[in-house]
Amino acid sequence: MSPRPMARPGGRSARVQEAVHTAVRDLLREVGRDALTVPLVAARAGVTPSTVYRRWGDLRELLSDVAVEHLRPDADPADLGSLRADLDAWAEQFLDEMASPAGRAYIRDALLGDPDGDNAGRCSAYAAQQIEAILNRAARRGEPAPDTETLIDRVVAPVMYRILFRPGHLDATYVHGLVTHALGGR
Amino acid sequence: MSPRPMARPGGRSARVQEAVHTAVRDLLREVGRDALTVPLVAARAGVTPSTVYRRWGDLRELLSDVAVEHLRPDADPADLGSLRADLDAWAEQFLDEMASPAGRAYIRDALLGDPDGDNAGRCSAYAAQQIEAILNRAARRGEPAPDTETLIDRVVAPVMYRILFRPGHLDATYVHGLVTHALGGR
């Protein structure tokens, strides 16, 4: 993916990011995390190592950036006709993605190469955006609903805390219980 | 801290751990994390680098072990006469410790040098033990109380999630609100 002639700087910059992210994802599959180096990524992406260092700092920060991109939702949550059904489905999918071996590795990468916390903040913003989409739908249906921060505290936080600090106890029954409670059930 | 003659293996092993942990804590203050190396730690602790590598694997795993030791509570939660008062005081202290710059650095170290999740699990077990001490007291007083896992989900998880992923919003008012809610208030 070498930049086309006359490419706008923004356009080129976007293509460099895409090429480097793709190189990292491919090399993670092909050679694994331990064999990954910036020169290897740069060669695969068709850029110079200094381009990678200038833009990402080091390999850990690049891996963190790639991880957050991977954790970005690619679609709005499904509309299943009610707040309860939408939250149940979203929370179950969130658990499946985050608790999977790949999800856990991406969460660790996102936190590890993130000295200032920006990437972790992006992960949380993605979850908040999905919840807001569900809440906006509920509002259009006239359903009463808690606010986004309440759902972050009562559904997202327990799932992420247990993935990182307290394994076990994590299944669909557990997240449905969190949703029931967040919606005012006991 | 060289082992005394006739020291039992367990005793020597405990002294090596203490010497290495002390060396790490001192060097973190004196030279900072970026300048820390296993040979530097070993020299300060009076052991060989191979002793450190054999026991801790690498510097990140050693830092993780030191971090978890630092996060171990050194006393039972204060007994203030009621479940509500004990939980408020403990949650506020937990927030102060974990959200401080040192606390955040130790949490990151604990998570990041912890491939198998054991150290993160120890951090969570420490919080659970403190909560259990508070709940046992409440039971002796005859106070109704939620169980430990409920308090982990409703108080510990939101605080830790926001420290790691969603900064801001973290103050005494916030944690007292979590406690109110965890105890059945809205």
Domains and CATH numbers, chain B: 11-57 (1.10.10.60), 71-182 (1.10.357.10)
User: Can you tell me the mean pLDDT for A117-125?
Assistant: 89
Distances from the Cα of B141 to the Cαs of B76, B82, B133, B151, in angstroms? 17, 8, 13, 19
A-B Cβ pairs (cutoff 8 Å, strict): 70
**Contact check, Cβ <8 Å, A161/B162:** no
Could you tell me if A127 and A94 are in contact, meaning their C-beta atoms sit under 8 angstroms apart? yes
Taking alpha carbons only, the member of A69, A77, A79, A89 closest to residue A28 is A69
Could you tell me if A61 and A71 are in contact, meaning their C-beta atoms sit under 8 angstroms apart? no
Distance from CA of B61 to the nearest CA of A (A): 13
Could you tell me if A29 and A73 are in contact, meaning their C-beta atoms sit under 8 angstroms apart? no
Entry pTM = 0.87
**Contact check, Cβ <8 Å, B162/A157:** yes
Residues B151-178: b if buried by 16+ CB within 10 A, e if exposed:
bbbbbbbbbbbbbbbbeeebeeebbeeb
Helices (H) and strands (E) in chain B, counts: 10, 0
- pLDDT mean values, one per 10 residues, chain B (186 residues): 44 89 94 92 96 92 91 91 97 94 88 82 94 97 96 97 89 95 83
Q: Which of B112, B124, B166 sits opposite A112 (nearest CB)?
A: B112
Segment A44-80, tens digit of pLDDT: 999 999 999 999 998 989 999 999 988 888 889 999 9
**Contact check, Cβ <8 Å, B120/A164:** yes
Mean pLDDT, all residues of chain B: 90
**Cβ neighbours of B160 in A, within 8 Å:** 157, 161, 164-165
Q: Which of A123, A158, A167 sits opposite B153 (nearest CB)?
A: A158
Segment B113-153, tens digit of pLDDT: 877 778 899 999 999 999 999 999 999 999 999 999 999 99
Taking alpha carbons only, the member of B102, B27, B30, B109 closest to residue B67 is B109
Look up residue B154 and give its two tokens: 């409703």
